[in-house]
Amino acid sequence: MLSVTPIPVLKDNYAYFLEDQATGETAVVDPSRALEVEAFLERQEKGLTYILNTHHHWDHVGGNEDLAKGHGARVVGFKGDRGRLPGQSVFLEDNEIFALGASRARVLHIPGHTLGHVAYYFEEDACVFTGDTLFHLGCGRLFEGTPDQMWTSLLRLAALPQDTRVFCGHEYMLLNLAFARYIAPQDKELEDLVLDFERARAKGEALVGFPLSFEMRFNPFLRCLLDAPGEALALFTRRRLEKDAF
Ligand SMILES: [Zn+2]
């Protein structure tokens, strides 16, 4: 069993603290910087075995070196990101299984936001860490990849079991909800989410860990599958551009 705790970092990033209950091995996913993660570890009296990176952007790897040094943690990432992840010493391939104690994550290479982007999929624990590729109600910008690559990556995530909980790299729920409502103004269920989510955010709740089924229903990018069967990639490409200017 794996326990997952979001740690809010910087303005709207989430790092995640993972603990394998069987062995006590721990990891942090995408530490933007060490400060908030160190405070969390100190409060919880925990150490750190691994640092898992989804991609090389500074707001996902900024805490790598300090945390690695302070705790003797090993930095884990995609082999294609060699040279871009500070302190990296574990180089994973697509589909490789990474063991955090008795918890096992499959590495999914999902290029688009960056070319070396990966997700960590813990099948038995039904959760996936999607970095800046799939957000709740959104997806990452195309900094390095093509729309085709990003769409293929999103489809790969969409094919996971629908009860898989999604842990993404940023708190963008309310921002993305505004765009989703712009795309589907007639969707009453989407409108009904607004008040609940605004209240939750006002209380400081992290709006992450919703299941993939929620994304399939409401995410305007994954919705391209249903909204334009047969030409989903073309619609995805248009919507991504529209979102960039939204
Ligand atoms: Zn990024």
Give the whole-number percent of the chain exceeding pLDDT 90. 100
Q: Ligand 1 centre and the CA of 21: distance in Å?
A: 30
Question: Helix, strand or coil for residue 46?
Answer: coil
Pick from 18, 14, 50: which is nearest to 32 by CA? 14
Does 170 participate in catalysis according to the annotation? yes
For 199-238, write each residue's pLDDT tens digit: 999 999 999 999 999 999 999 999 999 999 999 999 999 9
Q: Ligand 1 centre and the CA of 55: distance in Å?
A: 7
Does 109 participate in catalysis according to the annotation? no
The predicted pLDDT at position 174 comes to 97
Going by pLDDT thresholds of 50, 70 and 90, the confidence category of residue 186 is very high
Q: Ligand 1 centre and the CA of 117: distance in Å?
A: 9
Going by pLDDT thresholds of 50, 70 and 90, the confidence category of residue 175 is very high
The predicted pLDDT at position 123 comes to 98
DSSP string, 56-118: --HHHHTTHHHHHHHHTPEEEEEGGGTTTSTTEEEEEPTTPEEEETTEEEEEEE--SSSTT-E
Q: Which domains are assigned to the chain?
A: 2-244 (3.60.15.10)
Marked catalytic residue, from 20, 30, 125, 132: 132
Q: Ligand 1 centre and the CA of 36: distance in Å?
A: 19
Going by pLDDT thresholds of 50, 70 and 90, the confidence category of residue 1 is very high
The predicted pLDDT at position 170 comes to 98
Does 117 participate in catalysis according to the annotation? no
Going by pLDDT thresholds of 50, 70 and 90, the confidence category of residue 245 is very high
The answer to whether 185 touches 32, Cβ cutoff 8 Å, is no
Query: What is the C-alpha to C-alpha distance for residues 144 and 117, in angstroms, rounded to an integer?
Result: 10
pTM listed for this prediction: 0.98
The predicted pLDDT at position 9 comes to 97
Pick from 144, 195, 145, 137: which is nearest to 171 by CA? 137
Marked catalytic residue, from 60, 71, 109, 117: 60
Residue 55: DSSP 8-state? -
Classify strands 97-100 and 88-92 as parallel, antiparallel or unpaired: unpaired
